[in-house]
Each structure stands twice: as structure tokens, then as C-alpha cells.
Structure 1
Amino acid sequence: MNTKKNNTYTQYILFSLFILISSKTWAQNNLDSLFGVWQNRQISDSIRVDAFLDYIQAGAFYSQPDSAVILLKQAYDFSENSQDTIAMIDALNMAGYNFFRMGKYPDALAKYKKGLALAEIIEDDHGAGSILMRTGYIYHDNEDLVKALQYYERSLKLFEAINDLNGIGSIYNEFGNIYKSKGDFDKSLDYYSKSIAINDSLYDDIGSAAQLSNIGLLYTDYNKFNEALDYQNRALGIYRAVSDKLGIANTLSAIGDIHHEMEAYDVAIDFYVQSSKISEEIDDIQGLAATLASISEIFSVKGKHNLALGYCNKSLMLSKQLGDLGGIEQGYDCLYENHKALGNHTKALLYLEEMLVYKDSLKTEEASAKLQQMEFAKQVLADSLLQVEKEMKIEMAHQAEVRKKDRNRNVAIGAGLFFVVLSGGLYHRWRFVKKSKIIIEKERDRSESLLLNILPSAIAEELKEKGEAAARDFELATILFSDFKGFTQKAEKLTAKELIEEINICFKAFDQICEKYGIEKIKTIGDAYMAAGGLPVPDDAAVTQTVMAALEMQSFISNRIKERKEKKQISFEMRVGIHTGPVVAGIVGIKKFQYDIWGDTVNIASRMESNGAIAKVNISQNTYDLLKDNAQFVFEPRGKIEVKGKGAMEMWFVDYSKK
């Protein structure tokens, strides 16, 4: 586990957010009061809409972003009707930042472009500078640091022109963040220090405290613990002076992290406990979950596993409340490690299986995030191409007009000038267009490749074309289940790393076998592997292909057992079961989606596996009836075997024919 590192990063982001929002102080923080001003038609429209924007900022903006989208549209429409351009710019700026926080980058860019155009028309340098800075956030978040810096520099010029010290300080903070991410300690420290100097000149105590904490985190990353403690204690003093409880809680936790890194565990726990009490008091669930996880890690290191379990459970509960997949995975890992240390092997393996499920979910989420980044990059590039083509059309129209007016002049000279312009300017632009289109194609291929790692190709294509994929009935699908026998007992003798590595080697081989025989992997559940033939595209050969895949999987496991026995390593034996029948298949959910199947056929296939035997492929009567005349296989009747919930069922072992 690496909880304290994650906790440090979380706090670094929280401290950065203080800088982002410190440029505007909300004099009225009472939502009812702000809403009352908005509803009061006796007050001027400009005051009403300002109060409404403050109401959104103080309420839905940070807690209900979907509602904020609707409210900000209402604020923009009201401002447009009352011809209040400044309020229109503010509404678009807030809407863009709201979409940015939701991860909807193209929507955020669209709002920012519209707001920037308005700001430039009325020469609102402050509004334009803010929008340019926030546009930089988008490119920064998508790891395009060059483009981010370009927007930050444009923003900085405007802030400097109007002597907007808050804006300048915010840009210096972003420069510090970029240099920190690139590992340039000196430049990062320099820009953080410049930002602090500006905050001090503005008597912005909270802004200064946040930057002091950023510098403390920077020193922590470089193991300069004495300097880190000095800066965090200075920040803590400021937060306490202004009674900023969130700042106090975050800084106490950051100080705990430093002592944690120094292995001064008792001191670290003292600071973590102080932080957790304040986080609980102010309902800071995210901070509390991270701090409790750090406490559990220390108790685990000290061998106090029962105490560690209590904090693991509390942190896990809060992470589930937040929907934080990373926190949930860490929580289950914590429970696994401590139950294993206490000898509670059955419980340990249960939590290990849960951890593996969430690890798979994180991989799906990362792939989805990568897809979103690629789609964003493609849209940005497409917008650039449209602009280039637009400019080219204007230039071509202009040249046509010139030729028309100068028709009586020397035709050769006119044509020559035109082609000079064309070759000197438009040719390069066309080359750019051509090259960019190749890049778009390449990015599209990469996006599709990632999507196919999540969904079957036919379903992925339907999803791209229609935006959804309907569930379907399949009259004849062949379902395969595999499971390792004695997994729990053998897993107890392996470390978590060894266990996961061995499962991964086996499942990667199964993935390749499924691809070879054209059957669809559905999912893994702990040490179980599930696949299906005959869907999402029906295939007459699916039954044969699924059985061939199952036999090859057993062959791989047999060879794997021999390899590991020669090295005196623990190996897993496997059962495989197959049943053929009707199923329903479709996508589960709208986020972190998964292609899955349902029906009694799935349950029976699972029973075929659990009633099978080591190194054998056990099939149902339905599957046997479809294969019995196939000369590639031989069958061994097992008779009727009692199946839980189904009664007695005919079963057969299947193997390759010796002929």
C-alpha cells in the first residue's frame, strides 16, 4: 500500500484549489440570502444576477455540478436578455470551469471560447485573463504542457497589463505546478515563492497559507523533511489564526505524512488523529478517508493488525460513500494484508478477490479516461483544421476578387502573384491539413483499440454509431467457466504480489486463447474466468470453438504446473465447465460499463464447472448433443450428477480425439 503518497497528492491538489478560488471573496455566504436577492424584482438586474452567480458558486457549483449546468444556463439567458455582457462572461466562465471539473473538456472549451470572444469585444481584460488561465487548466489536465503554458502566458500578459495581482499570483502557482510535475525543484519553488510574495502584498493570508503548504509538499517529495515541516507549520499558524478548519485539517494531515515518511509513527498518528477529528466535524469525507487509511497503514507496520482493521473498515466505508475506486481498492488491500497477518486466511482471500475486482474496475476507468483524452485531442485538432480551411476559403475568395478586378492587367503577373501566395502560404497550410488528418486517423485507431479492450467489436461499433447498445436475446450461446481448485489454501502460501502475478499469467494466456478461437471474454471474478461463444455475433462453429478453447486452456495449465513443479513453486489445478443454451447479453451501466450476460444458461455453465474434475472439461447434455458427431472429440459419459438447485443432470467429459 502507498496510502500516504496518495494522501499527499490529494492534499496538494486541495491546496492548489485554494489559490484557484481565492480571487473572489464571497461577502454573502448564506444561500437563502443570496437566493432572496436573486428573486427580488425590485433590485437592479445586474445585482440580481451577481447574487445568483454567487448563489450557484456557494451551492451547486461544488456539490451538484449537474444542477449547476442548468442554473448557469439560466443565469446566462437572464444576462443576455438584460444585455449584461459582464454577467454573460462570468456565467460562461463558471460554466466552462464546471464542465472542466466534470471532465467534459470539449464542453468546457466551447464555453470558454464563447466567453473569451465576448470579453475581447468589450475589452474585459480581467474576464479574458481568467478564461485563458482556465483554458490552460484543460490542456494541463490533458498533459499538453506546451499548450497549457501558451494559455497561461497569454493570461499573464493581460493580468500584468491591468495589474491584477490575484491573477498574476494564480498564474505563478500554475507555473510552479508545471515545474513540480516535471521534477524541476528550483523553478517550482521560485514560482511558488513569487506567488506567496504577491499574496502577502495583498494581505491574502489563506492564499499564502495554501502556497506555504504547496512548498511544504514540494520539500516532502524531495525528502527535505525539516524544511517541509517548517513550511507546513507556518501554514498551520495562518489557518489557525483565521479559523479555517479545512486548511487546518489538511495541514495537520500533511504534517502527519512528513512524520510518517520519517518513520516517527507515534508522532504521525497524533497529527492524523487531530486532522481526522476536524475532518469529521466539518464533514470532509475525502480528507477523512485518506487520513484514516494512513493511520491503518502505520498500525499495520507496527504489527497492531486488529487496530489497523478498524481504521481500514472506516476508510473503506467512506471511500464507498465517495465512489472512490482507488480508495476502495486500497481499503480491500488493507483488509487483506491485515487479516492475512492475523491468520484469518478465509477472510483475507475474500478481501483479495474484492480488491482484484476493483483493480479491474480501475483499469476500465483508466481506459475510459484515456479514450476521453483522445477524443478531446481529436476535437481540438479538428477545430484547428476547420479554422485553417476557413482561412483558406477566405484567402481563395480574396484572390478571386483580386483577379476579377485586375483582369485587364497583365494576366501573367496576376497569376504569378497568386501562385506565389498559394505556394508560399496555402501550400504549407494544406500540408498541415494533410498531416493533421493523418494524425486524426492514427488517434482514432488508438481510441478504437482501447474501446475494443472494454467491449466486443460489434457492440463497440453500435455504441459509436447510435450512442447506445441494446440488450439482445441469443438463442444459442456456449458459456465457459474455469476455476482453480484449492485456490484459497494455496493462495495463503503466496505473497499478494506472487498471487496476482500468477493469476495474471494464466488469464493473459486465456485471453489469447479466446482471441485465437473467436470467443468473447466476459469477465474475471477472483480466480474464475468466464467466456462465451456465439455472441455478440451468432456463429454455427461457436460450440466447437469454445470447447477447443477450453481444452487448450487446460493444456496450458498442465504445462504451467510442470514448469512450476520443476522450480518447486506452488501451482494451481483447474476445472472447466461448459453449457449451451439461450442468454441475454448487453452493456451494464453508462459509466465504467461492462458487457455481460444473464440467464439460466450462465448458472448451469457455472454448475458444470463446480461439478467437474481437475484437468478435465466437463460439458452438459445440451453441449454434448451438438458435438457428439464431431470426429475431433471423444466423450466420456459421467451419468446423472446431482446439481444444486437443478436436480440430477447428465454430464460428459470431452477431450481431443486420438485419431
Structure 2
Amino acid sequence: MKRNIHIVFSLFLLFNGIPFFGHSKTGQKEIVTNINSKNADSILNLGMKSQDAGDYSRSLLYFDKSLNFYKSLGKSRKVGDCYSYKAVTYYYQGDYSNALFFFKKSNEEYKKTNYKKGISSILNNIGGVYYYLGNYLNALNYYKQAIIIQEELNDKKMTAATSQNIGAIYSQVEDYPNALKYYDKSYLIYKNSKDVKAISQNLNASGIVYAKLGNYPKAQKNLDQALVNADKINDKQLKIEVLSSLGELFFKQSNFEKALYYYNLSLQYSTKINSLQYISMAEVAIGKILNKLNKNKQAITKCLKGYDNAQKIGAMSVKKDACDCLYNAYKVTKNDKLALYFFEKSINFKDSLKSGETSNKMMIMEFQHRQLLDSISHVRKDHVVETKHKEEVQKQERQRNIIIISLCFIVLIALGLWNRLNYTRKSKIALKIEKDLSDELLLNILPEEIAQELKQKGFVNARDFNLVSILFSDFKSFTQTAEKMSPKNLVEEINACFKAFDLITEKYNIEKIKTIGDSYMAAGGIPKPDKESLTNIVLAGLEMQDFMSKRKINNDANNNPAFEMRLGIHAGPIVAGIVGIKKFQYDVWGDTVNTASRIESNGIVGKVNISESLYNLIKNEECFRFEYRGSIQAKGKGELKMYFVEKYINF
């Protein structure tokens, strides 16, 4: 049963004002209207308390009142806070259009004072709304913008919130290992900060992933703890989300009695605070359970209600689930016309959801990488053709103008000058756009230093490096394993592995050189020498092997073929540069490269094998533990001393 994971709203604001009340003639409490900062803070606090209590209509009144005060006082940051809280209130009510509108208004106010923490929070929250609407590409784009600012600010708590949201996207495209990786990263930060609410939201998200992986005991443990925490802090919205997750867990185990119990509780609490988001989800989920119990008329009633509520808030994934439920119910009750109607609507909603587009975008990155420089070459050729064309057009215009000037000299001269200025302005804009595109494409596939040299000179001089570390990896028994897989599954599996390797090399500032079939090559310490590169490339190799081990466990559990990998690293002098004039590729040469290849081919599955020369350079690093293998005969190299390296477990 598909459902969306809760998005963590990461607006952390503190107010110290005490609520200030006056009295009306009727004896009821009312807020005084003296315009000062203390009163405005007090009113905003009342709005926050009403929001936490699920009294959304009252919270909006308080937020609007404090918003007007802050505007009068000229406090842009506080105005941004009010807009943000209004947006969150609309989100909880399922009004995503207003949520997006007020988040963007808040962002405008924060930009006026360069409040970077607030800006990153809003970017994260906008991503959260797009995530719930099924627009994963837009969501990922906003998360990436947010995390850049958060890392710049070294804001670990906010980084954790955004990382958790990125994990939710991986969960939706069914890349569960990566989803858990991001959830675990967030959990460690939350645990150290003792943020009970954030820990509960994290446990809820990871619990759903464990349920999808079939690890039901682990899923229930996480969700039970999340529910205890939600009760402890009396967070109604969080409690609704966890109850919904528990309903999904028991649905997956076909324990429909317990699933109904939790979904009915979620619906009951959602109705109290008028959260259309979770009302619609609970109604559709209950309808699906009734469908399983052959109570199809009741299922139709529930799913129609859920569909109507999802329609009001534009929740595409919930509408699709409702259509699936109605299709099955009408099919069983022999109402073929309505069954066909909802089947077609389900297909349309499925096509509109963009999870497939996100996954496909990741899969074709390597292909795009190889074609970027071809695109630059075409752009340059187009520039030459366009320039010649412009010259010809200008020549024809001059000839025409001579004839026209003889007929109406003054009027046509003025018109010609105007046309000329307008044409020049548009041409400059077009040329600037194309130049920016060329620069962006070039930087996507070459190191920045190399790209700048190529742009300035049209070629790149080969450079000698005295000490560079070279990493090779290779899948053992690749051909035999590949024969057990379809071509599509083979490409998907290789892409999943190399995609993970790309992220690891980026993490450790290692330069990816190329892939050849099932072999992956990377280098540390180029094009800029880095004294940490020797340690970083070994850490990267260990993390690659760790990824492959976990992926094999996951594939074995699902009865899917899995690759095992050898990995070797050597360090020494190399020559690096670009050869040729088309389809540029930054590459390295030298005996060090050949030796690194031999170190890899003489390794064993699951281990990181290193040469004696690299061992001598890093043997004093406290984070590693080494195992001497002795002298091993290497093809074309004679006997080479080799070592296995592992990460020291207490480091």
C-alpha cells in the first residue's frame, strides 16, 4: 500500500515573549493592539500553540495579527517567520497551493536580510510540498539548494532534516539501501541533539522502509518507539502519521484486523484537526482493506470519500491509490463500466507521477557525461555558421536600406537604426546564454582547472605528478553473473553500483577517471595535489566494498543475482592530460597505472588490496589496520609485496 513519508519541516524559531491579554466588556480575553515587538512575539507564540494543538483556524488568525504588527515595525525576518508558519498550517490542512505561496513569500522576506538559515529552511519545506504532490524532480532540486546553504552554515540539525527528505525520495523510487543510508545519517545527528520529535519522525520514515524490505520486526520496533515519543510530547500531527504507518505495516502482513484498528485511529485524529492529507490517506487505506475482506460496497464508499478529499488537495499518489481500490471493487461487483473508468484514471495518474523520471535521470547520467563535449563542439560550429549568416543578413539589409533611403530618407534611417540596436541587443543576449551553457557543460565532465586551461588555449598540456594514488575495481565472474540477468537488469545493476561509487569518490574528493565495462578507475591527488588524498582513496575503497557487501545481502534476500568485487590501490608517479580534439577525456598514464591494475587483479573479493609503496606511505595512519600478504607473482611485474587494509574498528 503506497503512501507518502512525512516531510520534516525544519523551521527552528525561539520566542521568549509572554502572552499579553486585555479584557473586553463581555469578559472574554482579547489581544491588545499596542504595536511593539513584545506584543507581536506573544501573539506569534499563541499561534504556534494553536497550531500544535491542531486548532488551525485560530492559529491563522494569530499569525495574521502578528504579521501585521511586524510589517508595521519593519521587521522582515519576523514577517518571514509568520509567512512560514502560515504555510505549515496550510500544509497540515492539505492546502498545498497556499502552502507553496506563503513559503515563497517567506523566502522573499528572508532574502531581504540575507537570513541564510531561514532561506535553507524554506527551500527544504518547498521541496517537501513538491514531494507530497509527487513532483520528485522539483523536490530534489529544492533539497539540493537547501543542503548547500546548510553545509555552508555547518548547521548539522538542518542538514539532517534535508538528508532525511532526500532519503524519502530514494524510498519512493524504491532505492531502499540509499534511503536507509540517508535516514541513518540523520538519526545519528538527531540522537546526539536529543530532539524527541525529530527522532520520532526519523523512526517513522525508516520503519516504513524496513516494512517495504520485509523486515517487519525491525519496522514495528521503530514505529512503536515513534508512537511512544509522539504520545510523550503530545504531538497530534506526528501521532497521526505514525498510526498511519503502523496501519500500512500490518496491511503488508495481511493482518487486516490490526491494520483497520490503526487506520481508524489515524482517521479519527485526522478528522479532529481537519488534516485532509491524512483523512484521504486513511479513507483509501480502509477501503483497500475492506476490498481484501470482500466488503466491496463499503470499500467503494470509503474510497470515493478518499478520492474526493485527495481531489481537493491535489494529492496525486492518493488519487491513484483510490482509483486502484475502486477499480478492484467495481470489477468484483461486475460493474464493468465504472471499473474501466477508474482503471483508466489510475493509469493517467501513474503516468503523471515523476518517480520514474527521477530514476531514469539517474540512469542516463553516464551516457550524458560522454556526450557533453560533443554538445560543446556543436555549439561552436553553430556559432561559426550563425556569425556568417549574420554577416550575410547585414549585407542584404544594407543593400535594401540604400533603395529605401532614396524613397524616404529621414523616416527609414530612424527605423533602420532602431532595428539595428534591437537586433544587436538580442544577439548579445543569445550569445551570452550559449556561452554560459558551454561553460556549464564543460565543467560537468572535466576538473575545473583543466576546463579553464582548455578554454584559454584550446588544448591541455600533459602534466607530470610525482605521487598520485590509483584505484581500480572489477567485478568477479562478471560474464557468468551477467548471463543470469536480462540486459535491462544488468544495466540497472551496474548503474546502481557505479552511481554509488561516484557519490563515494565525490565525498572523499577523489577524481573519477573512467569506466571500462565492469571496471571502475579513480585517482587521488589530481589535478591538484592533496596531502590527504592517500588516506581518502583508501577510505573510499573500503566504503565501496562495504556498499557491494550490503547490496549482495539485499539481492540474495530477493533471489536476485549479485556481483562481488575486487579492488586494488597503488601510488606513484603518473602523467595526466587530454589527448585528441574530439570527445575530450581526462586520463592518466604510466607504470603506476599498470601496477595498480595488477594489484587489483591479484586481490580477493570483499577486500581492499594495496601495494607495498602505498603501505609505506600510510602505515602510520591510526584509522587503518593492515595484513601482510607476502610477495605475490603479478603478470608482467614479477613478485610484488601486497597488503590487505581494513578500517580500524575503534576509530
TM-score (norm 1): 0.44
Q: TM-score, normalised by structure 2?
A: 0.44
